[in-house]
Structure 1
Amino acid sequence: MQRRTFMSAAIGSVAGMAGLCLPGSMARGTASASGVRLYRGAALAFGTTIAVTVLHHEQHQAELAIEDALHAARNIDRLMSIYSPASQVFQLNRDGRLSRPDPHLLAVLAQAQALSQWSDGAFDVTVQPLWQLFWAAAGAASLPLDAQRRAAQARVGWRQLAWHRREVRFLQPGMALTLNGLAQGYAADMALAAVRARGVRHALLDTGEFIARGQRAVRQPWILGIQDPRDSEILAATLKVEGRSVATSGDYECTFTPDFAHHHIFDPSSGDSPLELASVTVVAPTGLLADGLSTTFMVTGAARAHAMTAQMDGVDLMTIDKQGRRKMSPGFPRLL
């Protein structure tokens, strides 16, 4: 899965830790006056490095929480990878049907269906045939022919995905599924649940999408930086994250053409990438919702995205278009 490019400006949040925390390792910071420390662990999942940072007074409990959280996130990757033959999504794409779907997969499919209905199909997890087509063409330094694009588009349609607790199946041949717009956010939710189960109240979870709970120090919130969509060395904004999840989607994450006109996000109605926005950042109550909304709003465009956000409780939004113009929901500036 392609990691969403979302920079943590909170490198300062793990400042003072000994050495670099590599996948499979643990690091701890210096103790504060109250005896609490920052602890951090990392692992490989979703084709990148995921990380869990916690603030706690007891080392063993903190390390157990980190191990549990990393395990929970990696379990979601194993279930929902489009590349691993052992994953249920891979098996569904290969066979057109899947028996005994995992409850985690069903939970994500339920959110996908709700987003598709709510957005009138702007969000659609069955766009994978379009991604496969454009990826193959990009390998030959070209774009698909219109006839090829229309043929792939005909195999896209969220209503053609049927599922219940005993089976998931496609209703027409040649369909394929991708959960790249949901799985990392859901993994962050599961990692948070694992941390909480160990009694840890202060944590920053990074699966490519972010969840923060509590604080990184006394009266100091967790801080995240949003990458500028046209310059990876510049932050478009820096956010205080207090008790919510943050996700970003951008046209720069996986591009098929240098002008960013064709990329990994697809509008099912056109069979190609949406043309207006360069990036979308969503702050929402859960990682699953933030992840799904950031993809949805890339497709809907800014005006509709902000109108939809205004109808939702606990959701804030910043859009940046391809000309660099920014628009924020009323609550977003309070996070800066």
Structure 2
Amino acid sequence: MKRRRFIAASLGVCAIGAAPAGTRLLTGATLAFGASVSIAAVHHDRAVAERAIAAALCSVRAVDRLMSLHSPRSEVARINRDGILRRPSRQLLTVLEEACRLSRLTGGAFDITVQPLWQAFSRAAAAPGQPRLPRERDRLDAARQVNWRHVEFDAAAVRLTRPGMAITLNGLAQGYAADLALQALREHGIAAALLDTGEFVARGRRPARDGGEGRRPWNLGVRHPRDAGGLAAVVRLDDRAMATSGDYASTFTPDRLHHHILDPATGFSPVELASVTVMAPTGLQADGLSTACMVLGAARAHALAARLPGVDLLTVDKHGVARRSPGFAAVELPPT
């Protein structure tokens, strides 16, 4: 399971749990997608905030149950096992529709059917001895199963039309879960919140440090792909979602040339970029685009972002050279 981790540069909350009495920022967490998921919500009524956070976390866990690769009862696992799933959930269809749209938009750079390739690399890397790559025969066999056009779906069923195919929604599910969690918060009257499902979604502004009437923006630091303790940028989330994909998150070889993001066209990991951070109107969009842009490379990724309303990105190549789109402006934080 890939995880895109940011450093919360100025959240001001160090522990999970209810905020102290008298403050207006409350937090909650759960386990999903193989890691901790957290929500910080702002509201004057503590009880309302607690109910909202509980509902939002429930939404996140529901997406994890539906789309996990590791639970044999999930819809994704059943599709991969049987090649067909009848009466798919509305949530699964929503994510599949976005996957199909993004595959068309990127000319196949985003493809949820890369799972056989990932499995081939994972099996080889887990073999005893030095880090290994799959045999060429195994890699080519897996690559032949990769083609997003062979996933058919409607309200009646989801079908994989070729034997041996398998899908992964790891490049979309966490962003979608953040969107559903935000919707749950809004339904409970929460207008300001920061959600971390592995992708970030922010709305509104957070309380002032001194508990006064002022509000401050949600500022997040983006991890530098070559310095785990350093930042590539600090950005202000202006009611958008943010997601990062990087070659450091889950690697098959120590040199980071082979990792969890795979190019459907070559059967190998993309060679140019070390990380991509995308800001977009929704978590679902940001999540998928961060993966797609890693495959596209800097020039094509920035050209794509320029055509998409509300989308900005930061790319960092293997040499540490960063490039920002015009709307991806770094911010200076006041002294803490």
TM-score (normalised: structure 1):
0.94
Aligned partner letter, 1:241: L
Aligned partner letter, 2:9: A
Aligned partner letter, 2:35: T
Q: How does 1:153-172 map to 2 (within 5 A)?
A: 153-172=143-162
Please list every run of 5 or more consecutive structure 1 residues that lacks an aligned counterpart in the other structure: none
Aligned length: 323
Match of 2:271 in 1: 275
Alignment of 1:67 onto 2:63: no
Aligned partner letter, 2:187: A
Pick closer, same or farther for the CA change 1:301–1:197 going to 2, 3 Å.
Answer: same
Q: How does 1:53-202 map to 2 (within 5 A)?
A: 53-140=40-127, 141-202=131-192
Match of 2:241 in 1: 245
- Work out the CA distance in 2 between the residues paired with 1:132 and 1:29: 46
SS where residue 10 of structure 2 aligns? helix
Identity of aligned residues (%): 55
Match of 2:211 in 1: none
TM-score (normalised: structure 2):
0.94
C-alpha distance after superposition, 1:295-327 (max 9, x if no partner): 000000000000111111111110000000000
> 4+ residue runs of structure 1 moved beyond 3 angstroms?
none
- Work out the CA distance in 2 between the residues paired with 1:307 and 1:164: 32
1:334 is displaced (CA, Å) by 5.8
Match of 2:210 in 1: none
Whether contact under 8 Å (1:241, 1:335) holds in the other structure is: no
Alignment of 1:220 onto 2:210: no
Match of 2:299 in 1: 303
- Work out the CA distance in 2 between the residues paired with 1:277 and 1:296: 12
Whether contact under 8 Å (1:252, 1:260) holds in the other structure is: yes
101-110 or 235-244: which moved more? 235-244
- Work out the CA distance in 1 between the residues paired with 2:265 and 2:135: 17
Alignment of 1:46 onto 2:52: no
- Work out the CA distance in 2 between the residues paired with 1:326 and 1:29: 40
Root-mean-square deviation (CA), in Å? Answer: 1.1
C-alpha distance after superposition, 1:56-93 (max 9, x if no partner): 10010000000000000110000000010111001101
C-alpha distance after superposition, 1:203-240 (max 9, x if no partner): 00110000000001233101111011011111111111
- Work out the CA distance in 2 between the residues paired with 1:63 and 1:11: 18
- Work out the CA distance in 2 between the residues paired with 1:225 and 1:260: 22
Aligned partner letter, 2:8: S
Whether contact under 8 Å (1:285, 1:314) holds in the other structure is: yes
C-alpha distance after superposition, 1:239-269 (max 9, x if no partner): 1112100000000000001111000001000
Aligned partner letter, 1:287: G
- Work out the CA distance in 2 between the residues paired with 1:60 and 1:300: 46
- Work out the CA distance in 1 between the residues paired with 2:140 and 2:315: 29
